[in-house]
Structure 1
Amino acid sequence: MKTDWTALSVFILFFLLVTVIGFVAARWRRPDNAEHLDEWGLGGRSFGTVISWFLLGGDLYTAYTFIAVPALIYGVGAQGFYAVPYTIIAWPLVFLFLPRLWSVARSKGYVTLADFARGRYGSKSVAVAVALTGILATMPYIALQLVGIQAVLDTLHVGGGSSFGKDLPLLIAFAVLAAYTYSSGLRAPALIAFVKDTLVYVVVLVAIIYIPIRLGGYGHIFHDAATAMARTNPATGKPRGSMIPGPQAQWSYATLALGSAMALFMYPHSATGVMAAKNRLTVRRNLAVMPAYSLMLGLLSLLGFMAISAGVGKGVKGYNSQLAIPQLFQQMFPSWFAGVAFAAIGIGALVPAAIMSIAAANLFTRNIYKDLLKPDATPAQETKVAKLVSLVVKLGALGFVLGIDKQFSINLQLLGGIWILQTFPAIVGGLFTRWFHRWALLAGWAAGMSYGTWKAYGVAAAGKPGSHFGGSAANIPVIGQIGYIGVTALALNLAVAVVLTLVLKAVKSPEGVDETVTADYTADVEDETPISGDPEHGPEVIAPVTT
């Protein structure tokens, strides 16, 4: 097929726009001392309700939303809709603990979740475990964003015939992302998120109205999807999928939804978006209105069925389902609006990729470089290291893109979810209780990580015997049902942590010093007084007023 120059031109126009915004963001709300991790990595902890809402939306609704979920529904049907109840479960769950996380992070100057783990349990080992897990889990998630950009570029037929020529546009987009992230830090994705979310809502609203009209209505779309799902998949010898999860798939559906909801704000980038808020009320307001994005996700999911009805990929052997939605837009929309839709996907991948790389860099800098390698590091040195590590993390994500089967790119996100869930006991448990023993948490984490990685490694991609990391579901011991590996690993993690805590408390093993106090978990800006006398550290360090 020939390149659609109109669509490509519109896509490039928006890409250039957000690139300019990304570099200009370095001067937006520029502080007197920008060489401080609070400024580069958390935007000065100054974002209000509107900015935080766009930032969190840009943070959480990614290429996973636009590419991976509809592609899974295109491929297997109703099983892919687990993403809708998972976001519904997530918001009331995180409303319970995220305001507490913001308060204690603000009171103690924590930049990462691992900072909190170190302070709460008095253990650098637990902090390093949380930090390494966060970095590891973030890489496949960034890789998913790169897959989304690559799907758009492939649909636009950008790149030469050689392997390098085909990947060159992706490498250019990667380089631009790396450059403005390095320069502007969290301020860049915060500003670009305004453009990203506006484009996404426009495209979704047009798509759910315009495309069904062209395809003969939703009744016709669902009929076509049901017919397609009933056909035999040559790779597996079974029906392609189903419109309703069958008895054998219900445990998988439920555990995927529950595990994903629990993992959502364990990711470093999610916590970064929360910690950047200027006060506790901003966090609570955003969590109250975030379900609006869940509605958008439900509507976006239907694009998978629309692609089936439109005949996208029909008859193409070994068709890559990640191309289904970009090709649906190309087929259904006028060229100029297809370009707008491609820009929404591309920018929708760039924004979270930037936040993710910043969050992973914060983890390395604060909890590995500063805690273990250079305890006397200055704020300027921390910031420099964080900028460099943000580049390394993106390179690691490229490795995931090259090394893992991308037929269902959602596996990249679910693989990260298996790992990041293992930090749940230390973080969420620690926000409400100091009961767990630090060594028990570490042992539970090791057990969950080992089991989860081992089981995920043993899952082959459909139709590719002998491959690895091809899925995220496996048999649940004792129950005997297929379920999300992350939840099974978390259950093992908790069992080990509980049993060992009882044993270690019985033998009176030292539990470490908790540097937090009860008032830290409900503190707000109004409760703080500045601590003076350290101009080198840029922004004033704040502490709660306690009585």
Structure 2
Amino acid sequence: MPALAVFVLFFLLVTVMGFLASRWRRADNALHLDEWGLGGRSFGTWVTWFLLGGDLYTAYTFVAVPAAVYATGAAGFFAVPYTIIAYPLVFLFLPRLWSVSRVHGYVTPADFVRGRYGSRPLSLMVALTGILATMPYIALQLVGIQAVLDVLGVGGGESANWFVKDLPLFIAFGVLAAYTYSSGLRAPALIAFVKDALVYLVIIVAVIYIPIRLGGYGHIFDAVGERFSAPKSAGSLTVPENKQWTYATLALGSAMALFMYPHSVTGVLASRSRNTVRRNMAIMPAYSLMLGLLALLGYMAIAAGVGKGDKNFNTQLSVPQLFENMFPDWFTGVAFAAIGIGALVPAAIMSIAAANLFTRNVYKEYLRPAATPADETRVAKLVSLLVKVGALVFVLGMDKQAAINLQLLGGLWILQTFVSIVGGLFTRWFHHWALLAGWAAGMVYGTWEAYGIASPKTKHFGGNAAEIPGIGEIGYIGLTAFVLNLLVSVALTLVLRAVKAPDGPDETRPGDYSAEGGDEAPENAPEPVAAH
């Protein structure tokens, strides 16, 4: 089968690259978390661009965004405006985070929170939230690989026993775990070049070749309009008036959450300089153009009759099935390789980011404060393996819809760290106990609201939109929880400042937030003191 042969060829190529990455820009001391977990903080503009692209635009993006468009129509395009909003937004604060992290050697956002507020509980909260939100995200990358393998017919079919059926997934997992353990962040950084090149190639070919086969874009939109105008249709070509608040709040909330994820921060902190971060935020919108074209594949799948007449059709398979139906066999293998490698790169970065959080903000902070950099690196390597094992168990043991629901919940959770991280980059006014209370309020409210949402496939966590209190419109729960988080943080800070509650020490200085690479605090600078 040509498609399978091409897929395996590319998989072997990136496997070799993953192991060779340990020799790429090899450091004098590889047993340091800066080296294993951040690639030596040495990546220039293009490496960082490919790394962030490989990190943010995952196999789940490749599968789920067109699947959402396939199922709901215009509502599925929310991912396009949210990425357009995200990059100007993060341009304002990511250079500041890079600078202060370089000066103080921070590896994780929780490190920064610990230094800024002098609060171990607040730092632990940020770390655990990051790990919690990342786990289902890693699982969904394995779901993406599994979707491709299903369409390829690999694994012996439904009649095979569970081990034979999932053996290809075990192999992919084993390879991912091995080269991540060996090469750290350098492995996904190197493989990202192949992944992004394949993704761009496949999408450019798809948006030209598939419409030609289907009779042009006019025919595609006619077919989509006919489907969504049918009685009881769940989708539409435009966002209905009663769903516009949901669309807008979901786009804004997702944009705010995007660079709160630990893997996004890891890609930024691996950059060589402050200007590298700025340049990347200026050129990353090129991926938004790619994302818009990718979303159109959902409409092409409708026009191609993918899943037509099958009430039990898994919409997550709409794009893989479209590729198999439309492309020649050999190019189907290229397309599937793009999706498969698009899962390996972010899964590696996510597991590294989660391992960094546990090592720096749980292990070193609470379990072994005297741990050396070499100890930290060894623990991070082991934790990265455990994280991937957990994701694999999650995929094999739970319904795929549950994985998707939990990933949506992860976006809600990670958004609740925004006030502590971004607020701390600009002001020391917030009191750390108020931030902790605000985080708890947002987490409890958001999780409880999401728990009460049912869908045809699940009784709980069946969606991410609910009525906004005081407005009456239906909006993104995560953004509503964030507003509650912010209000509680502000109100309690006013109270705590009024009663002169003691605050933790701030180890940062104003100049740290604009420092370039290699800048150090002056030797005669005064010791940092608590803010008043």
Per the normalisation by structure 2, the TM-score is 0.96
Kindly indicate whether the alpha-carbon contact (under 8 Å) linking 2:67 and 2:316 is maintained by their aligned counterparts in 1.
yes
Q: Structure 1 residues 332, 409: closer, same or farther in 2, change over 3 A?
A: farther
Which of the residues 489, 494, 497 maps onto 2:489?
497
What CA distance in whole angstroms lies between the structure 1 residues aligned with 2:326 and 2:421?
46
- Residue 429 (structure 1) aligned with residue 423 (structure 2): yes
1:30-49 to 2 correspondences below 5 Å? 30-49=26-45
Q: Deviations over 1:42-68 (max 9, x none)?
A: 000000111111111111111232101
1:199-218 to 2 correspondences below 5 Å? 199-218=198-217
Superposed displacement of residue 458, structure 1: 2.1
Match in the other structure for 1:482: 474
Kindly indicate whether the alpha-carbon contact (under 8 Å) linking 1:75 and 1:240 is maintained by their aligned counterparts in 2.
yes
Q: Structure 1 residues 142, 385: closer, same or farther in 2, change over 3 A?
A: same
Kindly indicate whether the alpha-carbon contact (under 8 Å) linking 1:68 and 1:408 is maintained by their aligned counterparts in 2.
no
What CA distance in whole angstroms lies between the structure 2 residues aligned with 1:404 and 1:84?
30
Q: Structure 1 residues 244, 337: closer, same or farther in 2, change over 3 A?
A: same
What fraction of aligned residue pairs are identical, expressed as a percent? 75
Q: Deviations over 1:140-198 (max 9, x none)?
A: 11112111111100000100223332222112111111111111100000000000000
Match in the other structure for 2:377: 383
What CA distance in whole angstroms lies between the structure 2 residues aligned with 1:402 and 1:450?
28
What CA distance in whole angstroms lies between the structure 2 residues aligned with 1:305 and 1:88?
21
Which of the residues 129, 132, 136 maps onto 2:128?
132
- Residue 457 (structure 1) aligned with residue 456 (structure 2): no
- Residue 475 of structure 2 aligns to a residue in which SS? strand
Extract unaligned runs of 5+ from structure 1: 233-237, 529-542
Kindly indicate whether the alpha-carbon contact (under 8 Å) linking 2:103 and 2:519 is maintained by their aligned counterparts in 1.
no
Kindly indicate whether the alpha-carbon contact (under 8 Å) linking 1:321 and 1:408 is maintained by their aligned counterparts in 2.
no
What CA distance in whole angstroms lies between the structure 2 residues aligned with 1:214 and 1:404?
38
1:261-300 to 2 correspondences below 5 Å? 261-300=255-294
What CA distance in whole angstroms lies between the structure 2 residues aligned with 1:200 and 1:351?
12
Kindly indicate whether the alpha-carbon contact (under 8 Å) linking 1:321 and 1:407 is maintained by their aligned counterparts in 2.
no
1:191-202 to 2 correspondences below 5 Å? 191-202=190-201
Q: Structure 1 residues 258, 114: closer, same or farther in 2, change over 3 A?
A: same
Q: Structure 1 residues 80, 170: closer, same or farther in 2, change over 3 A?
A: same
Superposed displacement of residue 453, structure 1: 1.5
Q: Deviations over 1:363-411 (max 9, x none)?
A: 0000000001110001111011101111121223234435665359754
Superposed displacement of residue 30, structure 1: 1.1
- Residue 34 of structure 1 aligns to a residue in which SS? coil
Q: Deviations over 1:192-238 (max 9, x none)?
A: 00000000010010000000000011111111112112334xxxxx4
AA matched with 1:391: L
Of 268-277 and 164-173, more deviation after overlay is shown by 164-173
What CA distance in whole angstroms lies between the structure 1 residues aligned with 2:238 and 2:400?
25
Kindly indicate whether the alpha-carbon contact (under 8 Å) linking 1:519 and 1:544 is maintained by their aligned counterparts in 2.
no
Per the normalisation by structure 1, the TM-score is 0.93
Which of the residues 374, 394, 407 maps onto 2:388?
394
What CA distance in whole angstroms lies between the structure 1 residues aligned with 2:514 and 2:397?
44
Aligned length: 522
Superposed displacement of residue 93, structure 1: 0.2
Match in the other structure for 2:222: 223
1:107-118 to 2 correspondences below 5 Å? 107-118=103-114
Superposed displacement of residue 412, structure 1: 4.5
Q: Structure 1 residues 265, 340: closer, same or farther in 2, change over 3 A?
A: same
Superposed displacement of residue 488, structure 1: 1.0
What CA distance in whole angstroms lies between the structure 2 residues aligned with 1:220 and 1:110?
54
- Residue 343 (structure 1) aligned with residue 320 (structure 2): no
- Residue 417 of structure 2 aligns to a residue in which SS? helix
What CA distance in whole angstroms lies between the structure 1 residues aligned with 2:225 and 2:509?
56
- Residue 302 of structure 1 aligns to a residue in which SS? helix
Q: Deviations over 1:474-522 (max 9, x none)?
A: 2222222221111111111111111100011111111110000000000
What CA distance in whole angstroms lies between the structure 1 residues aligned with 2:399 and 2:253?
22
What CA distance in whole angstroms lies between the structure 1 residues aligned with 2:262 and 2:364?
18
1:299-378 to 2 correspondences below 5 Å? 299-378=293-372
Kindly indicate whether the alpha-carbon contact (under 8 Å) linking 1:72 and 1:410 is maintained by their aligned counterparts in 2.
no
Q: Deviations over 1:20-48 (max 9, x none)?
A: 11111111111111011000000000001
Match in the other structure for 2:88: 92
What CA distance in whole angstroms lies between the structure 1 residues aligned with 2:516 and 2:435?
29
Match in the other structure for 2:501: 509
What CA distance in whole angstroms lies between the structure 2 residues aligned with 1:447 and 1:108?
31
- Residue 79 of structure 1 aligns to a residue in which SS? helix
What CA distance in whole angstroms lies between the structure 1 residues aligned with 2:93 and 2:143?
32
What CA distance in whole angstroms lies between the structure 1 residues aligned with 2:457 and 2:408?
19
What CA distance in whole angstroms lies between the structure 1 residues aligned with 2:313 and 2:165?
18
Which of the residues 231, 245, 257 maps onto 1:251?
245
